[in-house]
Amino acid sequence: MNISIKAALLCSAFAVASPAFAAGMHPVTGEALADNQTYTYRMLDDVKSFDPQINTDVEGSHILRDLFEGLVNSDPQGNSVPGAAESWEVSEDGLTYTFKLRDAKWSNGDPVTAGDFVYAWRRLADPATASEYAWYMELMGVENATKIVAGEMAPDTLGATAIDDKTLEVKIDAPRPYFPGMLTHASTFPVNQKVLEAHGNDWTKPGNLVGNGAYVLTDYVSGVKVTRERNPMYWDNDNTILETVVALVINDENIALTRYDAGEVDKTEVPAGQYPALKEKLPDETYSTPRSCSYIYMFNLGENGPEALKDVRVRKAMSYALNRDVIVDNILKGGQYPSYNWTHQKTAGFEMPAIDYATWSQDERVAKAKELLAEAGYGEGGKPLELTLNYNTSEAHKKIAIAASQMWKQNLGVNVTLANFEWKVHLDKLRSGDFGMARYAWCGDYNEPSTYTDLFTTTSGHNNGKYTNPKYDELAKAAKTSDNPAEEYKQMEQLLADDMPIVPVYQYTNVIMVKPDLKGFPFEDLMNNIYSRTMYKVAE
């Protein structure tokens, strides 16, 4: 059965079959449910904020998805499905979206209105809020967002209007077929103006916080745990199965694994390098699923960058000489994808171009690399080539960098000095262009290739290596309005392979342990948007 059809059936089945699981049975699958519907998972760090417009963390977003609900949700497969909006329409020019809100209530009983969304979105863009994610409003292209963030226009000029309590109209500056998918992002979640005004800065404290999600925040012990419990006011409460969701802060991944073994947590991350052993020991609990992030070494093509790297032959030689299979199979060992391009290969709407060196054998790549380097006048018989590779403190980054420098040394005779910096120093050096080569990684904000490809346009704030190609910029622009942007993305990736401003290294997977009695975890969602209400525990 097609996955999305199955999902649709599942949804409709949910709608008819109501609280059948009072009898301890799952309403759709008929599985026997466990008596204790508490899901406990490991969280790496303390929550930075429970405020949707302030939070910047992935782990914080998991919690916000339970406490609040945006216009659009994603299902366990990662498809966009209606959330607070029952349905939506888009105008013919693709610039106006009209969202019809369903009858839903805040956890204090207030109705959820279009005005709540308008309030939250203005708040996100408002310079007075000083949200770090204000740029997301710009990324979505909501009318006037850029000027509001810059303080040139008032927040109430934002292109989001409440036509009536249940109708929200959003105007965007260019057609974006993936726009609804962007609304699963936590920064677009509504907040209750009355509650914010009543409690001020303390509005996110348990007891004060009012949300429209399937769960309410009941307990927060800083640095220890976050507890949320079923919200009886939630519109689809009848279909919520998990009663309590607990996030335990466990910093060390090995201790987290011990506590998983002891049965204290139902889900944790697999410590680096332990995936093969755990997969063998516990095949039904160990998972490696694609995750939308891409790991690269960036070349500095800017004015401070080394002269040699301005030669595309040198850049290609460096990329070809890197044996990704060794890095993925012998260092990371978590099913990661060896990478020859930039965009995560599982991204929706992405078609991989025929990148030549991806199909070669490693011997062929090395032979070609030697040839190119010699042509450029470096390496054996030519000028010696000395480069520096910056990376931030982490055991895995270090191992990969050491392996890479060995490969460059052995295959090409290039001496790469490794420079390890603390995270903030590393970023500072990246931003100021003070590097030769640097480790870099990017995680997609939404499931569409432009979240990756936009990075290497000339004007991108993340293009620290100062790559510039007018053709690339043109394609990026064309993709925004194209009917079939897959073609543009393909060409852009081809340009990246031709110009090689980066060395693609690998693409991420999510390597996790999940107890076999926990069902409904969104393994198939590339964006890893977790909603506790889709999960349940079966009786063992």
Q: Which residues bind other proteins (CB under 8 A)?
A: 45-46, 48-51, 54, 56, 127-128, 130-132, 134-135, 138, 149-151, 201, 204-205, 219, 221-225, 248-252, 254-255, 258-259, 261-262, 264, 422-425, 427-429, 431, 441-442, 461-462, 464
Please, which residue, 200 or 381, has the CB nearer to other proteins? 200
Q: Which is nearer to other proteins, 29 or 56 (CB)?
A: 56
Beta carbon of residue 304, minimum distance to other proteins (angstroms, whole number): 16
User: Is the Cβ of residue 140 or residue 369 nearer to other proteins in the bound state?
Assistant: 140
Q: How far is the CB of 251 from other proteins (least distance, A)?
A: 4
The minimum distance between CB 234 and other proteins, in angstroms, equals 23
What letter does residue 204 receive in the DSSP assignment?
G
Structure tokens at 341: 């391009």
**Is residue 83 within 8 Å of residue 71, measured between CB atoms?**
yes
Q: Nearest distance from residue 517's CB to other proteins, in Å? A: 19
* Nearest C-alpha neighbor of 202 from the set 225, 220, 185: 220
Report how far apart, in Å, the C-alpha atoms of 85 and of each of 103, 169, 182, 525 are: 9, 12, 14, 21
Query: Which residue pairs, CB below 8 angstroms and at least 24 apart, start in 207-212?
Result: 209/50, 209/67, 210/106, 210/107, 210/108, 210/110, 211/67, 211/68, 211/69, 211/106, 211/107, 212/68, 212/69, 212/84, 212/104, 212/105, 212/106, 212/107, 212/112, 212/116
Tokens 């060992």 label which residue? Answer: 333
Residue 456's φ and ψ, nearest 5 degrees, are -105, 20
How many CA atoms are closer than 13 Å to the CA of 179, on its beta-carbon side?
A: 25
Q: Which residue number, 235 or 467, has a Cβ lying nearer to other proteins?
A: 467
**Continuous segment of H or E residues that includes residue 504:** strand 502-514
Q: Which is nearer to other proteins, 193 or 244 (CB)?
A: 244
CB of 131 to other proteins, least distance (A): 8
CB of 161 to other proteins, least distance (A): 24
Residues 6+ apart with CB under 8 A from 153: 144, 147
- Tell me the two tokens of residue 261: 């073994």
Neighbours of 131 (CB within 10 A): 22
Residue matched to tokens 């508490």: 38
Nearest CA to 488 out of 475, 501, 472 is that of 475
Print the SS3 string covering 113-151: CHHHHHHHHHHHHCCCCCCCCHHHHHHHCECCHHHHHCC
Nearest approach, Cβ of residue 373 and other proteins (Å): 31
User: Among residues 455 and 514, whose Cβ is nearest to other proteins?
Assistant: 455
Q: How far is the CB of 48 from other proteins (least distance, A)?
A: 6
Task: Give the shortest CB-219-to-other proteins separation in angstroms.
Answer: 7
* Beta carbon of residue 513, minimum distance to other proteins (angstroms, whole number): 14
Task: Note whether 354 and 498 are within 8 A (CB).
Answer: no
Kindly state the smallest distance separating residue 418's Cβ from other proteins, in Å.
19
Distances (CA, A) of 142 to 154, 174, 183: 14, 9, 12
- Shortest distance in whole angstroms from residue 502 CB to other proteins: 15
Strand runs labelled E in 360-458: 386-392, 415-421, 437-443
Rounded distance between C-alpha atoms, residue 451 and residue 292, angstroms:
10
Amino acid at 173: D
Of residues 79 and 244, the one with the C-beta less far from other proteins: 244
Integer CA distances (angstroms), 112 to 69, 184, 213, 535, in order: 10, 17, 11, 24
- Give the DSSP letter string of 505-538: EEEEEEEEEE-TTEE---TT-TT----GGG-EEB
